[in-house]
Amino acid sequence: MRVLFGAGRLADLSAELDRLGVGRALILTTPHQKIQGDDIASMIGGRAAGVYSGATMHTPVHVTEQAMQQVALLRADGVVAVGGGSTIGLGKAIAFRTDLPQVVVPTSYAGSEMTPILGETVDGLKTTRSDPKILPETVIYDVDLTRSLSVPFAVTSGINAIAHAVEALYARDGNPVISLMAEEGIKLMAGALPRLVAGDDADARDDAVRGAWLCGACLGAVGMSLHHKLCHTLGGTFDLPHAETHTIVLPHALAYNAPAVPAAAARVARALGVNDAAQGLFDLAKGLGAKLALRDIGMPRDGIEKATDIAFKNAYWNPRVLERDAIRDLIARAWDGERPKGEI
């Protein structure tokens, strides 16, 4: 993967498409970002085959199938994904099916642009796969594109990024370099978000983009555990907003795993500047005005049992053995917006 980083780097998009041999790029966006997609299509001129603006959360397969029809109709030979996790996921889904080169232009702190992982949803069930074809060829981090990101979404998108680094610190296939990147990513993002909320837009956005890149690189390098499994389960099953779900679940998932990984929890706490990592993450989200309860983002009360059942399907590694009653309690506390279990 090639990464371009810095203010104004979107201007390099045409050159990157030429380098990749892309002459007819399909620009991908969500409906909300269609105007931005149109602007980029105008900027690259004849290299744009068209704009598809149907990307949506959790990468539903039926949406990918619609986008694939546009790829064929417009004879696209590459894709440019402009936006956050929804658009990036669609670009990955197309690349997995076609092996077309993809350029990602992130406008949030999702981090998935740095990974060869694709999560797709069919009939309310989200599954993931990993394949070299899924990894984007080029990522262009232009901090100017994050200036219009609303503060509430910047907050949840940023904590979503922190979640990647937290789980990287206790990943089974982790290593010292990834741990350094993870701790620095958490520190940068956790330091940037309060400043951003307070109005320090320019410097805070710069730090947040650097933090997002580090956290995303961790996500792409090592495996994830309980937190990501729960968020995929909840998001895909109940169609919950991705970043908000990560924000709410993260303190609870870390509180569950912390007794099994004290060194990793200590590094998270150090990066946050607190004594207890899980409580610190909860307080960070609360202090930034983020929603703290799954019920407040659309999850029904009777979904707790269903989510618990799905969390135990398809075995996956976690540093602490999964205990059904404890996992159900974790989800219930997150649903109600309670503090995570542990020290206060």
Confidence category of residue 36, pLDDT binned at 50, 70, 90 = very high
Q: What is the mean pLDDT of the chain?
A: 95
- Of 62-66, 232-236, 259-263, give the lowest mean pLDDT range: 232-236
From residue 208, give the alpha-carbon distance in Å to each of 131, 187, 222. Answer: 28, 10, 21
Do residues 13 and 41 make contact, with C-beta atoms less than 8 angstroms apart? no
Contacts made by residues 182-185, CB under 8 angstroms, sequence distance 24+: 182/214, 182/215, 182/218, 182/267, 183/267, 183/268, 183/270, 183/271, 184/211, 184/214, 184/271, 185/161, 185/211, 185/212, 185/213, 185/214, 185/215, 185/218
Q: What is the pLDDT of residue 127?
A: 85
Average pLDDT over residues 231-238: 91
pTM over cut 0.85:
yes
- Of 53-67, 85-99, 141-155, give the lowest mean pLDDT range: 141-155
- Show the domains of the chain with their CATH numbers: 2-146 (3.40.50.1970), 151-336 (1.20.1090.10)
Q: What is the pLDDT of residue 343?
A: 54
Average pLDDT over residues 294-304: 97
Residue whose token pair is 């996921």: 89
Element (H, E) at 81: strand 78-83
Write out pLDDT tens, residues 261-277.
999 999 999 999 999 99
Write out pLDDT tens, residues 161-190.
999 999 999 999 999 999 999 999 999 999
Q: What is the pLDDT of residue 344?
A: 41
Q: What is the pLDDT of residue 214?
A: 96
SS3 301: coil
